[in-house]
A and B are shown apart, each in its own frame.
Chain A
Amino acid sequence: MTAGPVRRTVVVGGDHVAAICALALKRALDPIGVEVVLVRTPNNRMAAEVCATLPGVANLHRLIGLRDKAVYGLCQAVPVMGREFDGWSEKPFLLGYDAFQPAINDVDFIQFWSAARHKGLDVPLEYFSPGAVAARQGKIGQGEKEGRWRRPLSGLHVDAAAYASLLWEGCRKAGVEIIETNALKVVQGRSGIASLALAPDRQVVADLYVDATGSERRLIGHFGFEKWRAWFPSDIRFSASLSAPSPPPAYSRFVAVEDGWIGLLPLQDRLVAIGHLRARDRDVYALVRHYLVQISGQEPATLEWREFAPGRLAHSWRGNVVAMGDSAVCLEQLAPAELQLVQIALSTLVAFWPVDSDAMPEARAFNAAFEEHLFQVRDFQLAHFTRSTRAGDYWESVRAAPVPGSLAHRQQLFAARGVVPVTGEHSFGPGDWSAVLAGTGIVPAHSDPATNRTSESEQIEKFQHLLKLVASEVRSMPTMSEFLVRTGGTR
């Protein structure tokens, strides 16, 4: 006996994440007549905030019908080819958004690279990454496929507030009912939320509720929230505006400092400084200003901060509520994976869209699938911290925390033999992992003996060929300015 299909879903939240959820669900579920309502609460994001994404956002935009022209024209969008990490380990390194090198005679490139490192090669892995090289040279790749060579794609930075406006507009056009309110009371029922009471006498009833209210978790609550403070000791996150370099750099930069880290993310009209710091009882403004001046030589034009509590809900789908974005998992913004996780959660939700509004055993499968992704994203970020050689209280406390078994295994396996386990679902492929682990200073102790099937002279020739290929690939890419003109950027 079933109570019938899910006919109505309500998304609650005030930022771009809420709007993406509403729009994506509307587009995916419209063919089966599911009504999508967006209860739009005030946007609690910081004014200057930037939304940074991995290249996969292009797929999301296709799914929700967002056109590049609008994103570049209205959201100060800047494409980026990678992220530079400075001050974390011994040497800075740039993680390109491709991290893919062709195999040599069926053996992974990383095996040849680590063998060559032991023979004295002093060329960092990033030199073989078209994404990283393009990033350094201010060039933008657009991801066309050409033979065995997959060209790099760009990630994206957008002004979060403008992005949210654009998405709301998309919701309206797509037929999402939008209710604006801040007065919101959850009415609990027998096995989940029965309705939302909106002031003064309005009620919204749905079969399934999506909590996209960020770390407030206004629908799902904080029950079962696992704190990750031992791994990520920052207690505040901030966002500040600095003046824009022209043209904007084609990568973001993450600088480790004594109390945490600062990221510099270009938009068309400004450079946004974000960061996570352990401020404790200190004057946050003075602390942030101190680091910004130190790193950029600039006084911030605007500066806002929020308290930060990293962690995740043990079950992001409970009863008839699904948490999305920061409601489900609160991570530092070191890897721009927030939207990636939202995208994964949405596609998993659609894949497990409940068949019965009264009983949703799909939650278990959803939670298991989502957990695999979010642990991997957490580990990917944490890899930077656990390998840092910096001195100071903050860094010592990070290193004192026991590394999660999943990450320790990855690091040890890579250190032993340059192998990255492909476990379950993943947001970061073996190439990304190799790049980040090598970037944090791990050189595999041994390489695949199959590398010896390729003679040393052929190996050298292949390396030189690859470097040339990367160079010519990058030469053919447009510059940042050319790219922005072509895509309708405002600068």
Chain B
Amino acid sequence: MQPPLRVLIIGGGTAGWMTAAALAARIPQTRRDLRLVESEAIGTVGVGEATLPHIRAFNEDIGIVESEMMSRTAATFKLGIEFENWGAPGKRYIHPFGAHGKPMGGIGFHHFWHRVRHRSEVADLGEYSLAIAACRAGKFEFPAVEQDTLRSTFDYAYHFDASLYAKFLRSLAECGGVARTEGRCVEVLRESESGDISGIRMDNDDIIEADLFIDCTGFRSSLLGDTLGVGWEDWSQWLPCDRAWAVASEPLDQPPPFTRSIARDAGWQWQIPLQTRTGNGLIYSSRFIDDESAREALLCNLPSHSVGEPRQLRFTPGRRRDNWSRNCIGIGLASGFLEPLESTSIYLIQIAIQNLLSLFPNPRCDPALVNEFNRRMNLEYDRIRDFLILHYYANSRAEPLWTHCRDMLVPPSLEAKIGLFLHRGAVPRHAEGLFSPPSWVSLFFGQGLEPSAVHPLATGMDEERIAEVLSAMHDEIARDVAAMSDHGTIVRDYAQALS
């Protein structure tokens, strides 16, 4: 049998412990020797308290019991993200974890809705999504397993305390045989001939050697960026925000089952409801507002009393040109940064881990594995980038940040998507990468884009008939939502936070 691969994870935030726990769970002990170094003196960013439904498969794969995880991380359920004032002031829409209506004859529901939307009895597109209706009513229920009902047309994720999640994963990882070393890495050592990383020197002069290094050092990117010099692809031309203030506030009496994202004059504000507190932040562009005004704007708009002082973060949106170079893989913020507008930070960590598992080197980092990993990760980043840019680009707001965004040139890949939607209501459909057609549907319409035509095959059904189908669907959704539980109640009953 192969000797075990020595894997060293540097950095113990969400990315570090997610990686450690997953490798410990999926790769047998005889094949790996896992160590994580972290320093309690170095803070973690604790990215992404809001997640995407994919996290459930990740948790299941490493043997996590949902209710236990939720109570340990003060989690609530999440059915989508509400965008307020984005496309235009006063407008709001929800990007649901689920579909709007059901396709008819293979043609997307939104084409039929668009044909009859002018009729008085036809409601907003969001009214035909069970997930959205549940969000609006503050309700939650687990999706049905039976595929033929509307109750199976949505999915869910969590809002949780990322630092508690990392702590929970640490306990699992350590039980699974991951060794933890406390201390700071002060030097990265390289092999003179190959240039690969051979080990790291700790602040107590100990040297830790390994075969594979996972850089989870966050924005610093000590290994991938600093040591190996892997360049950064800067996306600030499309994503103008570069700073954030974050602060916690008191928990809400009725935590909504969705994340809130509110566009502001020079950025946007998030609200993430946990059982024990509310996560808040304002992301802004330093070109359009100064730090102090931004801090003020956040503190004046909190949903509850603040707890503690706001912390500032600075960042450059983009990604490393390669996430895997030589024998080093960047996971988490060391690999790239995209603002948490669509809760993609933890998703990107998870996908990197899944790709690492399916391409686990053995023992040499074969260039084919490295190339495939980078191909997959770059595709993920690029797809999310386009999706985020559209939030900024398609707006009718008057402030300087927003007019700047409206006038910018978007990447050609996004331009093509917008063009096809405006021409015929077509939404992108990709075999790989995040965001399926329902997500694009909610974003395009939510941001106020209107197609000038629909799919020709959607013109075969007469308007009366479409309106009848929609009406029946609307009623069914109302009945289903009425039967759901109150979100706050189900969270308490199912997974009350540990005090």
B366 touches A352 (CB 8 A): no
A6 touches B456 (CB 8 A): yes
B362 touches A452 (CB 8 A): no
CB distance from A36 to the nearest CB of B (A): 14
Is B455's CB within 8 Å of the partner chain A? yes
Partner of B459, one of A32, A356, A422, A453: A32
Is B424's CB within 8 Å of the partner chain A? yes
Contacts of B426 in A (CB 8 A): 352, 362, 365
Partner of A417, one of B27, B366, B375, B452: B366
Question: Which segment of B28-36, B39-47, B74-82, B300-308 sits at the interface?
Answer: B28-36
CB-CB under 8 A for A364 and B416, given A353-B457, A419-B359, A423-B431: yes
Contacts of A28 in B (CB 8 A): 457
Q: Which residue in chain B gives the minimum CB-CB distance to A347?
A: B106
Q: Bin chain B's interface residue count.
A: 35 or more
B31 touches A452 (CB 8 A): yes
A449 touches B457 (CB 8 A): no
Contacts of B120 in A (CB 8 A): none
Chain A residues with a Cβ closer than 8 Å to the other chain, count: 39
**Bound-state Cα–Cα, A409 to B27, Å:** 25
Contacts of B32 in A (CB 8 A): 449
Is B66's CB within 8 Å of the partner chain A? no
A5 touches B432 (CB 8 A): no
Q: Which residue in chain A gives the minimum CB-CB distance to B424?
A: A355
Contacts of A355 in B (CB 8 A): 423-424, 453-456
A450 touches B372 (CB 8 A): no
**Bound-state Cα–Cα, A190 to B95, Å:** 43
**Mask: chain B, 346-383; 1 = CB below 8 Å from A; 0 = not:** 00000000000111101000111101100110000000
Contacts of A31 in B (CB 8 A): 457, 460
Is A2's CB within 8 Å of the partner chain B? yes
**Bound-state Cα–Cα, A347 to B313, Å:** 49
Is A425's CB within 8 Å of the partner chain B? yes
CB-CB under 8 A for A424 and B453, given A409-B368, A453-B28: no
Contacts of B118 in A (CB 8 A): none
B368 touches A424 (CB 8 A): no
CB distance from B42 to the nearest CB of A (A): 31
Contacts of B460 in A (CB 8 A): 31-32
Q: Which residue in chain B gives the minimum CB-CB distance to A28?
A: B457
CB distance from B297 to the nearest CB of A (A): 41
Is B479's CB within 8 Å of the partner chain A? no
B420 touches A361 (CB 8 A): yes
**Bound-state Cα–Cα, A5 to B453, Å:** 10
Q: Which residue in chain A gives the minimum CB-CB distance to B454?
A: A355
Q: Which residue in chain B gives the minimum CB-CB distance to A6?
A: B456
CB-CB under 8 A for A421 and B375, given A32-B456, A362-B424, A448-B360: yes
Q: Which residue in chain B gives the minimum CB-CB distance to A33?
A: B460
Is B145's CB within 8 Å of the partner chain A? no
CB distance from B465 to the nearest CB of A (A): 12
Is B1's CB within 8 Å of the partner chain A? yes
CB distance from B250 to the nearest CB of A (A): 43
**Bound-state Cα–Cα, A32 to B27, Å:** 55
B432 touches A409 (CB 8 A): no
B431 touches A449 (CB 8 A): no
Q: Which residue in chain A gives the minimum CB-CB distance to B453?
A: A355
Q: Which residue in chain B gives the minimum CB-CB distance to A32?
A: B460
15 residue pairs A–B, Cβ–Cβ below 8 Å:
A5-B459, A28-B457, A32-B457, A34-B456, A353-B455, A355-B423, A355-B455, A356-B423, A409-B372, A416-B368, A417-B362, A422-B431, A448-B358, A450-B26, A450-B357
Known: A29-B456, A413-B368. 9 other contacts (CB 8 A): A409-B372, A413-B372, A417-B362, A446-B2, A448-B358, A449-B5, A449-B31, A450-B360, A452-B31
